[in-house]
Structure 1
Amino acid sequence: MIRTVLGDVDQLGVTNSHDHLFLASPVLPGQELTDVEPAFTELQRFRASGGETVVQWTPMGMHRRLDALPDLSRRTGVAIVAATGLHQAQHYSPEWLAETLPRLDELFVNDVTEHRAGLIKVAGGFHGLDTHAVHTMTAAANAHHATGVPITVHLELGTAALDVLDLLCDKLNVPPHRVVLGHLNRFPDPWVHRQAAAAGAFLAFDGPSRANHATDWLTPSTLADLADAGFAAQLLVGGDTTTAAARGMPGMSYLLTHLRPRLDPDLATQIFVANPTRAFSF
C-alpha cells in the first residue's frame, strides 16, 4: 500500500516522484510556494498532461500545508503523497530546532499515523554527513522501523549517496529498497550511481530543465545506461519545483511533455508507473 493524503492505495499511476506544491525557507527569500490556487493550477496542468500522482517531499517546518493537500487532491483528481521529516539545519531557526530535534522520532511517527504522511524526507550534506544529518537520519530510521514508510533523501548537489546508504542501511538497518536517493542528476557520476543501485536503493533524477545541473541532455542517456546495466526497476524521475519562478514554466508537466518522449516507451512506463508504486509502498 501507498499512503496518500486521501487514504491508502495500491497503485499510483503516472507519477512525479519528487516535487513541491508548497515550500518556504529562509534560504529562499521571496521564492515561497505558499498559495493554494497556483498549486491547484499546477496540478491541473500535470493532470491534463497525463499525470496521476505527485509525491511532495516538503518536510516539517517548511510550509508543507498538510491542511490544504486533501482538498487539492479531491479538486484535481491527482493523488498526493505527503512527507514528514526534516531538512538541513539552515532551513530552520535555532529555537525551532532546539524544541524539535529531541522529539523527532515521535513527530515522524505521528505524522505517518495521524496525518497521512507517506514518506520521511531527510537530507545529507555536501560530500558528507554532519551531526544534524546523522541525528535526523537516525530518527528517520527509527520511524521507518515503526511504520514501514520509505525514507527519501535530499543529496546536496547529488553528493554523499554512498555515505547515506552506509548510515541508513549498514548501521541503522533500513532495507536499501526502502531508501530513495534524490538529486543524483546533479552529480552525474556513473560509478556512484551504479554502486548505489547495486546496493538496492531507488535512484531519483529530479529537476529537469535546470541547465546548470546538466539534466536535460544527460538524464535520458543516464537512465538508459542504468537500465541496460540491470537497474531499470530502481529508477524514478521528478520535477522538484522549489521556487515560484519554476511554476508553469517549465512546471510539473514538463516531465511528461518533454522528458518522457525521450525515453524508450517501455522504460518510461516502468519509471513513471511501476517503480513509484514499489518505491513509495509500505
Structure 2
Amino acid sequence: MSFIRTFHGNVNPADLGFTYSHEHIVCIPPYWAEQQADDLLLDNKAKSERDVLDFKNLGGQAIVDATAIDYGRDVQAVKEIAEETGITFIGTAGFNKSFLWSASIPERLKHVIGDYQTFSDWIELKSINELADFVIQEIEEGLEGTGVPGGQVKFGTGYNRITPLEEKTLRAVARAHHETKAPIHSHTEAGTMGLEQIELLKSEGINLEYMSFGHMDRNPDPFYHEKIAKTGAFLSFDGISKIKYAPESTRIGCIFELVKKGYEDQILVSGDTARKSYYKHYDYGLGLENIIGKWVPRFIEEANQKGFDGEKLVDKFFVQNPKRCFTFKK
C-alpha cells in the first residue's frame, strides 16, 4: 500500500497535484528569536495564508512544510491554513542543523522533549535509538503531540562539516525511516556534504531512492549533482527566486545538465521561502506566487528553446516527482 501522509491524514499519491517540495509557512525559530533576527520569524498566520492563497490561485495544490521541531514550527497555524485554503500540506519530523541547537528549548515544547535547557542538551543526552523513537512518534502519532502526523523525516548538516551531534541525528532519522517507511529529506548547508551524508546513510542501510537532498542549487556543480543522482536520490533545487546566491540561469543550467544525463525523474523545485523579505504579504518580496507565476513560464520558454519539452519537465518537477518522492511504500 502506497500513500502520502498529510496534515489531514493519508492521501492517494495521484491526488497530490502541483507541489512545492520545500517551504516554511509559519515558524519562529528559537535560535533566530534569541538573536532578534526578525526577518527570519514567520510569525503572522494571516500574512502567510495570503501568500498560500496566491499560490493556490495560480494552480498550486500542495506544499511540503520542511520545518522541523528545532526550527520553531507552528503546527496548529499551518493546519488551520490547510483547512482554510484547501491546500494539502505535508509536515516534517526530525531535525535541522547543529548551530541552531544552542537555543533554549521553548517552554511549550518541554512536554514533548523533556526538561532540557537547550536542543544540544537534549540531543547529546539521548541515545540514537531514543531520538529515533521520538521521530517515529511524530510520524505515527503527531508532530509535537498535536495529532497532526509528519509526512517526511529530516536531518541536516553544516557547511563543509558534519558534527558528532549531526551524525547522531542522521542515524536516528535513518532508523526512524526503517520503522515508518517515511521519505527522508536532508538539509545540506550551502549544498555541501551530500556525498558524506550518503556514506553515513549507506552505513545505516538506507535505500537512497527514499532520499531527497536539499539546497542542491546552492552548490551549482554538475559533477557533484551527477554523483548524487547516480544513487537514485532526488535532488531539490529549492532556492528559486534567491538571486543573491545565483542567477536563475545558473540553476536552470544545472537542471538542464541533469535532464541531458537522464535524471529528470529525480528533480524537485521549490523556494525555501523562510524570510519575511521573501514573502509578498510580509515585506513586499516575490512571494510564493513567483515560482508558479513567473519562474515556470520562463523555464518552459528556455527549455523549449533548447529542444526540451518544457511543459513535460514542469509536470515532472512539480507533479510526478513529488508524488513519488513523498510516498510511504509499505
- Smaller-chain TM-score range? over 0.9
TM-score, scaled relative to structure 2? 0.82
Matches within 5 A, 1:17-166: 17-25=21-29, 26-27=31-32, 29-31=37-39, 32-92=41-101, 93=103, 95-97=117-119, 98-101=121-124, 102=126, 103-115=130-142, 116-166=149-199
Rounded to whole Å, the distance in 1 between the matches of 2:269 and 2:162 is 24
Residue segments in structure 2 that go unaligned for 5+ positions in a row? 105-116, 143-148, 301-309
1:267 aligns with 2:267: no
Cα RMSD for the two superposed structures: 1.4
User: How far is the alpha carbon of 1:146 from its aligned partner?
Assistant: 0.7
User: How far is the alpha carbon of 1:215 from its aligned partner?
Assistant: 4.5
Rounded to whole Å, the distance in 2 between the matches of 1:192 and 1:35 is 38
Instruction: State the partner residue of 2:10.
Output: 8
Rounded to whole Å, the distance in 2 between the matches of 1:15 and 1:109 is 25
Distance change in 2, residues 1:14/1:215 (3 Å): farther
1:250 aligns with 2:286: yes
TM-score, scaled relative to structure 1? 0.95
User: How far is the alpha carbon of 1:244 from its aligned partner?
Assistant: 1.1
Structure 1 SS opposite 2:235: strand
1:234 aligns with 2:266: yes
Residue segments in structure 1 that go unaligned for 5+ positions in a row? none
Instruction: State the partner residue of 2:240.
Output: 208
The answer on whether the counterparts of 2:98 and 2:158 sit within 8 Å (CA) in structure 1 is no
Rounded to whole Å, the distance in 2 between the matches of 1:223 and 1:104 is 35
Rounded to whole Å, the distance in 2 between the matches of 1:210 and 1:68 is 26
Rounded to whole Å, the distance in 1 between the matches of 2:171 and 2:43 is 30
Rounded to whole Å, the distance in 2 between the matches of 1:215 and 1:10 is 36
Matches within 5 A, 1:220-231: 220-231=252-263
Identity across aligned pairs (percent)? 28
Rounded to whole Å, the distance in 2 between the matches of 1:24 and 1:74 is 21
Rounded to whole Å, the distance in 2 between the matches of 1:275 and 1:55 is 13
User: How far is the alpha carbon of 1:24 from its aligned partner?
Assistant: 2.6
The structure with the larger Rg is 2
Alignment-mate amino acid for residue 19 of structure 2: T
The answer on whether the counterparts of 1:16 and 1:252 sit within 8 Å (CA) in structure 2 is no
Structure 2 SS opposite 1:68: helix
Superposition misfits of 4+ residues, deviation over 6 angstroms? none
Aligned residues: 281
